[in-house]
Amino acid sequence: MTASFPTSALAPDATTPLILALPKGRILSECGPLLARAGIVPSPDYADGDSRRLRFPTDDPLLDIVRVRPFDVATFVAFGAAHIGICGADVLMEFDYPEVYAPLDLGIGKCRVSVAEPAATAGTDDPSRWSEVRVASKYPNIARRHYAGRGIHAEVVHLNGAMELAPGLGLCRMIVDLVQTGSTLKANGLVETEVIADVTSRLIVNRTALKTQPEAIGAWIARFRAALETGG
C-alpha cells in the first residue's frame, strides 16, 4: 500500500518537535525501561491512566510522544504524521508500507502469527487439495498472502478480537492470529497448526523524514540502539 502524505510534518524547522508514536497496551508497558534507557522522559501526565490526552511533551523540547492503537502506529509513521514509532512486526507485515523503514528489532512483544484450528478436526484433511478456505483474522493481508502462496484462495472474515470463538461457531474453518503462550487457543479447544511468522516489536521511521532530517532521526536510532545494548 502506498501512503501519500502531506510533507509539512516531514521537514519541520529546527524548533518543531519530532513525533514518536507509541502503541497503547502491552507493548507500551514493555517498552518503558527501553524509553528510560534511551533518555526519554515524558511529561508526568503520560503515566496517568485516566488522562484522555493523546499527545505528550517530553523533557526534550524537540520530541513529543503520541499514544495510539497498536495497529495504527505504522499508519501514523507511513503518512508522516509521526516521524518515529514502535510497533509489532505483525502490524508491519499486515500493512507492508513502503514508506516505513524498520532499522531495529527491540526484542520485546514476542509472539507469533499462526494458523490455528479446532483440535477435534486438525489433521483430518489434506490442505494441499483445497482450492479455498474461510479464515477469520485481524490480519486479512497476512492470511490471504499465506494461503495464496499455496495456491489456496482465502476468504477472510475480518474480526478484531475473540477470534478463537469463530471456528466453533461455524464462522470459519481456521483462524490466523497471534499466539504467545498458547493458553487462549487451549482454553477454546484450538491447536496451532502452522507458524506464519515470529513477531517482536520494531523501531520504525518514516523514510522521507530520515532523508530530510538525517541527523535528528539518525540520532534517535542511535540512542535506541545504545539503549538496547545497555539493556543486555
Ligand X SMILES: O=P(O)(O)OC[C@H]1O[C@H](OP(=O)(O)OP(=O)(O)O)[C@H](O)[C@@H]1O
Among candidate residues 3, 228, 230, the one with its CA nearest the CA of residue 103: 228
d(CA 100, CA 174) in angstroms, rounded, equals 30
By C-beta, is 64 or 177 nearer to ligand X? 177
CB of 178 closer than 8 Å to CB of 112:
yes
Rounded Cα distance, 219 and 212, in Å: 13
Q: Does 4 bind ligand X (CB under 6 A)?
A: no
**CB of residue 107 vs ligand X: minimum separation in angstroms?**
18
- Judged by CB under 6 A, does residue 57 bind ligand X? no
The reply on whether position 179 binds ligand X by CB under 6 A is yes
Is 79:69 a contact under the CB 8 Å cutoff?
no
Q: In the bound complex, what is the minimum distance in angstroms from residue 187's beta carbon to ligand ATP?
A: 13
Q: Is 27 in the site for ligand ATP (CB under 6 A)?
A: yes
Q: Are strands 55-57 and 63-68 parallel, antiparallel or unpaired?
A: antiparallel
CA pair distance 218, 21, nearest whole angstrom: 16
Interface stretch with ligand ATP, choices 33-41, 49-57, 68-76, 187-195 (CB under 6 A): 68-76
Q: Kindly tell me the number of DSSP H helices and DSSP E strands found in the chain.
A: 8, 11
Q: Of ligand X, ligand ATP, none, which one does residue 70 interact with (CB within 5 to 8 Å by kind)?
A: ligand ATP
The pair phi, psi for residue 163, each rounded to 5°, is -55, -35
One residue of 178, 191, 197, 221 binding ligand X per CB under 6 A: 178
- State the binding string over 97-136 for ligand ATP (x if CB under 6 A, else -): ------------x-x-------------------------
**For binding to ligand ATP (CB under 6 A), which residues are involved?**
25-27, 69-71, 88, 90-91, 109, 111, 178, 180, 199, 201
